[in-house]
Structure formats: structure tokens, C-alpha cells
Amino acid sequence: LLESVLPLSTDIDYWSAQDGGSISLIVYFVQSMPQRLYSWSTHVISAVYSYSLDQKKHKHSILEQLRVLMSSRYLFPVADQINTLHDSARSKRKTLRFPRVPDTVNILGLVGHEIRYKQQQLVAMQDKLATSIGILSQAASEHNMEASAEELLLQINNVINIATGSDAMLLDKETTWSGKDSSAQTLLIQNIAEWIPDISSKVSRQMQNYSRPSLAIRCWIPAVVLVASARLLSSYITEHRDDFKDWIADGLFTLRNYISQYILAPLKHGYETIRYGKHTYSVMSDESLASDFRSLEDMVIGFAKRFSDVNPDDVRYRVEHGDLSDVMQVYSQEMQQPFRNAVFGDLVQAMLIQVQKVKVDVGQTMAALDKLLKSNELNFLLLSTVPATLSIYAAAKWLSIRISWWIGGSSRHTVTSIQTIVRDIDRLLNFGTRDEVTDSLATTEAIHLPAASQGHLICLTHYLRHHAQMLPNSASAGRLGTGAGWEFTLPHTRTMFLQDIRDIESTNF
């Protein structure tokens, strides 16, 4: 019975996913279209053949029947099966037809109706199997050990009938169990043993019309798209083979230059700065500034000696501190007659000395800026590598997340399924035992779940056992992919999880 429950759960999940929206409905309708067309064509051919053999049918009746068969709603035989459940007059008819062909048909509505109907049938069968499992569990429990062997066999017979949909009677209700009749005991046990292996196959045959489509139907659209895409891509690559080679070469060259210029080169310069004291950033050299300053001193000393007897050391001291009074006194006198002194006087020389002074001041400013750059050169080198490093790290991180998401898909699905099943168990124990707790408090009796609830609990724990096989069981801490990313797990996670399942199963409900 448990082997029959697990495929039903898989089919129910599949139909739930297909009923998620318009796109899912359209995809399912297109997927199942070949099967629908095949079924529809066989019905049409069979109907035409039967009408050709029956000469008594009126031509108008034949055309009406063909018009019904040609209706698009005939592609949905499940819809007619649903109608037969609500119409007793039509429930006995074997042919699946609508009383009239509507003018407009909501294809997506019919597809959704079909999916929900199949899901309801699977859920109903799942409930029947869970009830059967609960009956067997309660029959074999400690508080029910007083039941006779005949009652147990009757319960087993009822369970087999519920599961397989048959009316076979392994044991007649009027027959009494005789402990001395060993041949009767052997015969009954043999009958039960013959029926039990066929339960799973009989359930599968019952649910064949409601189970998910075959693998070929589910995968033919992706297969066609994949083959067509591969064919177009291969032809495009063949035609542009040289272009692809050039693109790949250019991409590799660009990536190599990007890494070497924006990551490796700044890091190399930073190492040389730390190790050898080499400076990369320099605005003006010290030799150039010293040469300009000596030229300014010589120009001021020579200019001052022409007008007075001065001490060169005093003039040099004043120039070092930015004092050009020796030049500015003559400059102010020369500016009284600028045109005459520009040609015949010393005005031009005084102006050139001031230009040299401006050049020296600019050089000193550049020297101060150069000193600031040198003191922060390592910071600039490291900062220059940050954008390139962050971009490469972001690309590598995104690629790692995509690969991890693809690799951890099965474990992520396992964790999600386990969370859903544990929630169902919690709801089952909370709502399924509420009335039982109230009755037990009044009668001081033990709490026992109904047969259906207990069967569902056993089915849910069976699902947990199935998904537990995907959990890691290493002796050290591991990692497990979840919807929120990778989470660390305890050692022997699977063993401890199975222990928790056994604790749930061993609890006296």
C-alpha cells in the first residue's frame, strides 16, 4: 500500500504545478495535443466506420453526430466524464458527447477543469489508501490484540477491496475460524498472499487515466526546441567560424589586458613601493626645482649688484624666504616710465626675474603636492585595484551562485519537500487529535487517531523516509542547499532525521 501511495503523491504534485497559471495550462495543452489528436482521430474513424455499416441511420443524424465529433471540446474526454457524474441519464452512455456544441469554447478553462478533476481523483484514491493503511495499523496495534483471526482477515479483505476496487471475498462472513482446520488456514493465507503483490499494479491501472503523462509527452517540446536550437546554432557557428575565433581571441586579449593593467600592475607597483621605496607618482623632480631656485638667486644677486653694493649671502637669504625687495625697488622706479624703460631701462629684466620667481613658487607647490602623493602612494595603488577586483569578484560570485544553484537543485527540492511534509504532520496532529483530546479528558481514555488520520500520518512518514535518502550522512559537518542558500548540517544528519521519524511512528496516537 505504501508503495502505491508514493507515485500518487508525485502525480498530485505534478498536477498542482500544472494548475499554476495560464502559461502552465498552455504548455500542458500543447504537450498533450498529440495524444488528444490521436484519441480524437480514433473516435472519429470508429464512428464513421460504424455509421457506414448501419444503413438505417438518417443522414441528418449522421451529420449531427459528425458535427459533435468535430467539436474542439471533444478533445477533452475528461470533461464529459465529469458531466456524467452529475447527470444520471447520461452516466450509462458509453460514448462521450456533449448534448450540444457551444459556439465558443474556453480552451484554458477546459484544460484547468481537466487538471483539477484528475487531481481530485488522485487525492480520493490517496485518501482511500491512507484509510486502508490506518485500518491495518489499528488492527495490528496493541490495544486491538483481542480481535480474532477471522476479524483480522475480514479487515484485510476490506482493505484489499478498497485499494483494488474489486469485490472479491477471501473469507465468507458466515464462515467461522477453526483453529483445528489447518487446511482452511493455509488456503486463506494463500489467497491473501496472492492478492497482496497485485495491489500496487491494480492501483496503478485504476489511476492510469489520471496519472501524469508519459515521459515522451512531457519532454517532446523541450526535445524539439533543443534539437532545433542545436541545429540552428551549429549552422550559425559553422558559417561564422572565423568570426567566433576572432571574438574569442579578442575577448581573451581584453580580459588579459584588463587583469594585467588594472590588477597585476598596480599590485606590482605597490610591492616595489613597499620593498624598494620606488615612487610611481611624481609631479616634479627635486633636481629641477633646485636648478630653478639657483637660477633665481643668481638673477637677483646680479641684478642687485648693478644698483648697489650688496652682500650676496644676505641677498641669497632673502630670496630663500621669498623676499625680492632688491628687485621690487628698482621695478617700482622703472614703472614710472614704462615705455622708455622697457626699451632703454631695466624694466624687462625685472619682469623676467619676477617670472622666474613665479616659476619657482609653482615648483615649490608642485613639490609639496609631490610629497603628499608619495606619502599616500600605496593607498592610491591599492585603491586603483578595487574597481577591477570588485568586478571580477562579482562575476565569479554570480557564476558560483548559479553553479551551486544548479548542483544543489535536488537537495533544495528535498528540503522544501521535507518542510512541507513536516507542516502537514503538524496540522494533522493538531487538528486530527483535537476532538480526541476533548473526549479523552472526559472519559480518561488514551488518545487514538481515526483510521484515516493515522493512515495519513503513516503515509507522511513514508514520504519523509523517501526524502531522507537525499540528506547527507557524513561523520563531519556538511552543507545542504536550501532556498536561502547553503546551510551547514550536523554530523550524521540522515541518521538523526530517521530517528526522529521513528519517534513519530512509535508514539501511541
What is the predicted pLDDT for the residue at 231?
92
CA atoms of 349 and 328, how far apart (whole Å): 11
- 296 burial level (CB within 10 Å; 0-12, 13-18, 19+): buried
CA dihedral 204, 208, 210, 215 (to 10 degrees): 100
Q: What is the largest CA-CA distance in the chain?
A: 153
3-state percent breakdown (helix, strand, coil) of the chain, nearest 5: 75, 0, 25
Question: How many CA atoms, within 13 angstroms, populate the side-chain half-sphere of residue 182?
Answer: 0
Listed ranges 51-55, 252-256, 437-441; the one with the highest mean pLDDT: 252-256
Nearest CA to 300 out of 371, 336, 353, 259 is that of: 353
Per residue in 154-200, pLDDT (tens digit) is 677 777 777 766 655 555 544 445 444 556 666 767 777 777 777 77
C-alpha cell recorded at residue 128: 482511500
Amino acid at 257: N
Whether pTM > 0.85 for this model: the answer is no
The 10 Å Cβ neighbour count of residue 36 is 16
Higher pLDDT, 143 or 478: 478
DSSP 198: G
Q: Average pLDDT, stretch 225-233?
A: 92
Res 91: pLDDT = 42
What does the pLDDT look like over 343-377, one tens digit per residue? 888 888 888 888 988 888 888 888 787 777 777 77
Instruction: Give backbone dihedrals phi and psi of 111, rounded to 5 degrees, phi first.
Output: -65, -45
Are 324 and 357 in contact by the 8 Å Cβ rule? The answer is yes
